[in-house]
Chains A and B, each alone.
Chain A
Amino acid sequence: MNPSAQHQDAEGARLGMWLFLFSELLMFGGLFVVFAVYLQRYPAQFADAGRQLSLFFGTGNTVLLLTSSLTVALAFEALRQNRQRLCQGLLGFTILAAGLFLVNKGLEWHAKFQHDLYPGSQTLRQAPAGQELFFGLYYLTTGLHGLHVIFGGVILSWVLVQVRQGRIIATRPTMLENGALYWHLVDVIWIFIFPLYYLLL
């Protein structure tokens, strides 16, 4: 391999990560634009559809993600203070929260399907135009977000293994930092999804 490939530039790695996060935000931005346009066109139908989402699951998942964002940030601090065990524990908790989020999401989707609320379903075909669009966007946006939760979980698990093997250490924390940044992105996107879809009255 080209030896210059091994040079370390923490600042550069961080810059690259931020650029990547920008591109992710813009990708979700496309979905939010579609949401905004259809919300403007069908405000009443969107509000009706939004009321059918479960505030219980939504709020639960918001709490989970916010907490996990905190723990991953604490894991980074713990690593910088050389407290390896604490760092690993906090990372483990974050990954657990990612798993719980997905379980919740699965239960929530399952319940929606039980209530015949999915694009193309009998109920939505008969509902006023706009409700089906709402649920189409809901599944697409939360589905894409769910994929990012999975990616985030995988990335953090990999980071955890690296920390255990001593490849990510206090003087070289960039991998953990970038993994945490990615997890914050997952959190931030949810912070927009939650009010837009669940708190729409």
Chain B
Amino acid sequence: MGKVIQMGEYFRRGFLEPSGKQPALFDWIFSTDHKRIGLLYLYSICTFFAVGATIGLLIRLELIAPGRTIVGPQIYNALFTLHGVIMIFLFIIPGVPAAFGNFLLPLQIGARDVAFPRLNLLSWWLYIFGAIMALSALFGGGGAPDTGWTFYLPFAGETTTNVSLAVFGVFVLGFSSILTGLNFITTIHRMRAPGMTWSRLPLFIWSLYATAWVQVLATPILAITLVLILSERVLGLGLFDAARGGDPLMYQHLFWIYSHPAVYIMVLPPMGVVSEIIPVFARRPIFGYWFVAASSIAIAAAGSLVWGHHMFVSGMSDTAVLVFSLLTFIVAIPSAVKVFNWVATLYGGSIRLDAPMLFALTFVLLFSIGGLTGLILGSAATNVHVHDTHFVVGHFHYTMFGGGGFAFFAALHYWFPKFFGRMYNNRRATWAWGTMVIGFNLLYFSMMVVGMHGMPRRYYDYLPQFTHLNQIATIGSWILALGMALMAVNLLIALRRGQHVGANPWEAATLEWTVASPPPPENFEELPQVSHGPYDLKRAGEA
């Protein structure tokens, strides 16, 4: 069981201990242990994130000066398409739910695994196959897809680039997402420990639950939309070809019926992460537990009815524009409920500014900026002015990266000691955080300003008067990349040399902190009997 290390202290490697029966790699890629699958996702997601970020840096480098800088228009189109496909489908959608959700869901509800462990492994394999297919579209005949991640018809039906392969890859990724969703719903319904009532569920689980429903109910629409693109390209059905009686607008509806709810797949679990971290580091129970839990469901429900706001200038009827605009504003209500509850939780708390808390608080700030600029886009009149400009790009990076991305880093810093039983250097983590915040805001705020001035998105070239702000944005991208590199190095060092920590370094009250770090393969020797809520910090340490 234990191994003596030089300092004479005992520690266990828990689920990380190799079985010794087969090559170590097989221990991982054929494991049905939710913790190992969670880490498989984590490693693959971080790898794809690095690829996507590199492409992002190339895009920014091209935009440092007007005219052709490093790539021409065709390659530029391919770059932003791949950046989008990788970041959306390979990083941010599976990011928090598949990596952290897999690892933590059974631990937080007091179960030994998810409901369908083998299906869980299959999800990861599908994810990897889909990723390989989508990425291999980069190479080979035809060239990399140049449609943007939205694959809008009719162009996606006509372009000679490798769109079919990429689309099929995304189809497989969607399947993986559906299977994870139904696995999580079943797990949450069927496998809660005795005493783990719905009102004692950690808020992270509530957010996973809402997300899982969106995954199960919205992703099939993406699947059929992708099938329709393929049928257009391969069979030439002409269903969206205006010359043959079809309607291209139908495609946009179908695409956004999935892709807008997908925004909430990307942002609900991060909100759950923040709801876990803030009470622990403010040493106060969450303010308004039921409001935070219910707002997750409300966001998931209302968010499924707002897809039309992507299409205000596509030629929908004015009535449709008004209705979608109104519904969009309604989503702001539960989102604001969450923000106010987080702030109210902080009020009067004894706040500890360790790295996870810094990232979580940054989420609140950046997500609020992203959310408020979203209202500018959601109201029909201003939308027409800034539609398809860099303002939109800046806005969704504030929500997706400033929100989703920073929460992903917050989760990484919060649960790192639980995953690996080691602690990173908090000073370095803080430096990395500070660098990233500065770089992030230089990058994306400049984008929003230049967008307000009228610079369109998805062009490799721009008018000379936009040069100044674009240079600031590109420099910001370098600072951001430097911060992320520092963060990565810090965590990688900690993986090997970090100090060992006990079961509950943050003195949190959720169940995952009652087991050893890293957790034993079976999580709990005996299923816990839950007797208090997830934020009952006075009783932290008890089961």
A and B bind: yes
Contact residues of A with B, CB < 8 Å? 1-5, 9, 11-13, 15-16, 19-20, 22-31, 33-34, 37-38, 41-42, 119-120, 129-130, 132-133, 136-137, 139-140, 144
* B354 interface residue per 8 A CB criterion: no
Instruction: From known contacts A16-B182, A26-B221, A129-B244, infer whether A119 and B236 are also in contact, taking CB-CB under 8 Å.
Output: yes
Separation of A16 and B67 alpha carbons in the complex (Å):
54
* Cβ contacts A to B, 21 pairs, < 8 Å: A2-B32, A2-B33, A2-B113, A4-B112, A5-B32, A5-B118, A12-B186, A12-B190, A16-B115, A16-B116, A16-B182, A20-B182, A24-B220, A25-B220, A29-B224, A30-B257, A119-B235, A119-B237, A129-B244, A140-B227, A140-B237
Residues of B whose CB lies within 8 Å of any CB of A are 31-33, 112-113, 115-119, 178, 181-183, 185-186, 189-191, 216-217, 219-221, 223-225, 227-228, 231, 235-239, 244-247, 250, 254, 257, 521-522
A13 to B221, CA, bound (A): 24
Nearest Cβ in chain B — how far from A43, in angstroms?
13
Does B254 contact A120, Cβ atoms closer than 8 Å? no
Give A15's nearest chain B residue, CB to CB: B186
In the complex, how many angstroms separate the beta carbon of B526 from the nearest chain A beta carbon?
A: 13
How far apart sit A129 and B115, CA to CA, in the bound complex (Å)?
A: 50
Return the chain A residue nearest B213 by Cβ.
Answer: A19
Contacts of A9 on B, CB cut-off 8 Å? 115, 190-191
State how many angstroms separate the Cβ of B279 from the closest Cβ of chain A. Answer: 30
* Candidates A15, A29, A133; contact of B244 at CB < 8 Å: A133
Bound-state CA distance A38–B244 (Å) is 12
Report B-chain residues with C-beta under 8 Å of the C-beta of A30. 220-221, 224-225, 228, 254, 257
B contact patch SS: helix
B32 partner residues in chain A, CB cutoff 8 A = 1-2, 5
Closest residue on chain A to residue B190 by CB atoms: A12
Q: In the assembly, what is the distance between CA of A15 and CA of B118, in Å?
A: 16
CA of A3 to CA of B31 in the docked complex: distance in angstroms? Answer: 11
Bound-state CA distance A24–B178 (Å) is 10
Q: Inter-chain contact count A-B, CB under 8 Å?
A: 117
Say how far B488's CB is from chain A's closest CB, in angstroms: 30
Q: Output the least CB separation between A52 and chain B (Å).
A: 17
Q: Which among A2, A20, A28, A139 is the interface contact of B31 at CB below 8 angstroms? A: A2
Known A2-B31, A20-B182, A119-B235: A34·B250 in contact at CB below 8 Å: yes
Q: Which chain A residue lies CB-closest to B118?
A: A5
13 more A-B residue pairs beyond the given contacts A12-B116, A23-B217, with a C-beta to C-beta distance below 8 A: A4-B113, A11-B190, A15-B186, A16-B119, A29-B220, A30-B221, A30-B254, A37-B250, A38-B247, A120-B236, A129-B245, A133-B238, A139-B237
Per a CB cutoff under 8 Å, which of B115, B220, B244, B246 touches A23? Answer: B220
Taking the closest CB of chain A, its distance from the CB of B494, in whole angstroms, is 27
Query: In the bound complex, what is the Cα–Cα distance between A26 and B174 (angstroms)?
Result: 13
Instruction: Check B223–A27 contact: CB distance below 8 A.
Output: yes
> Chain A's nearest CB lies how many Å from the CB of B241?
9
B24 CB, nearest partner CB in chain A, Å: 16
9 nearest CB pairs, A to B: A129-B245, A30-B224, A136-B237, A27-B220, A4-B112, A19-B182, A26-B220, A12-B190, A5-B117
Interface centre among A27, A28, A37, A41 (most CB of B within 10 A): A27
Determine the chain A residues whose CB is within 8 A of the CB of B247 once the complex forms.
Answer: 37-38, 41
* A84: min CB distance to chain B, Å: 27
Chain A residue contacts of B244, Cβ below 8 A = 129, 132-133
- A132 CA to B235 CA, complexed, in Å: 13
B residues within 8 A CB of A139? 235, 237
Docked-complex contact B178 and A23, CB < 8 angstroms: yes
Bound CA span A41–B189, Å: 44
In the complex, which residue of chain A has the Cβ closest to the Cβ of B36? A2
Question: Which residues in A have their C-beta under 8 angstroms from that of B219?
Answer: 23
CB-CB nearest in chain B for A42: B245
Do the beta carbons of A27 and B190 come within 8 Å of each other?
no
B117 touches A2 (CB 8 A): yes
Name the distance in Å between A92's Cβ and chain B's nearest Cβ. Answer: 28
Q: Which residues of B contact A34 (CB under 8 A)?
A: 228, 239, 250, 254
Give bound CA distance, A130 to B247, whole Å. 11
Chain A residue numbers with a CB within 8 Å of B190 are 9, 11-12, 15
- Give the residues in chain B near A13, CB-CB below 8 Å: 116
Instruction: Check A136–B227 contact: CB distance below 8 A.
Output: no
A27 and B224 CA atoms in complex are apart in Å by 6
Residues of A contacting B117 in the complex (Cβ-Cβ under 8 angstroms): 2, 4-5
| B183, closest chain A residue (CB) | A16
From the candidates B223, B245, B522, name the one contacting A130 in the complex (CB within 8 A).
B245
Q: Is the CB of A12 within 8 A of B115?
A: yes
Contact A140 B245 (CB under 8 A): no
Minimum CB–CB distance from B123 to chain A (whole Å) comes to 13
- Least CB distance from B115 to A in Å reads 5
State how many angstroms separate the Cβ of B111 from the closest Cβ of chain A. 8
Residue of chain A at shortest CB distance from B254: A30
**C-alpha gap A137/B216 in the complex (Å):** 24
- Nearest B residue to A130 via CB reads B245
Q: Which of B31, B217, B237, B238 contacts A22 (CB 8 A)?
A: B217
A118 CB to closest chain B CB (Å) equals 9
Which chain B residues lie closer than 8 Å to A38 at the CB level? 245-247
Cα–Cα, bound, A9→B189 (Å): 12
Task: State the CA gap A73–B377 with chains docked (Å).
Answer: 52
Residue of B whose beta carbon sits closest to that of A45: B245
- Are A132 and B238 interface neighbours, CB within 8 A? yes
Q: With contacts A26-B221, A37-B247, A120-B238 known, is A5 near B113, CB below 8 A?
A: yes
Contacting residues, chain A, for B237 (C-beta < 8 A): 119, 136, 139-140
By beta carbon, the residue of chain A nearest B224 is: A30
A138 to chain B: closest CB distance in Å? 10
Q: What B residues does A25 contact at CB under 8 A?
A: 220
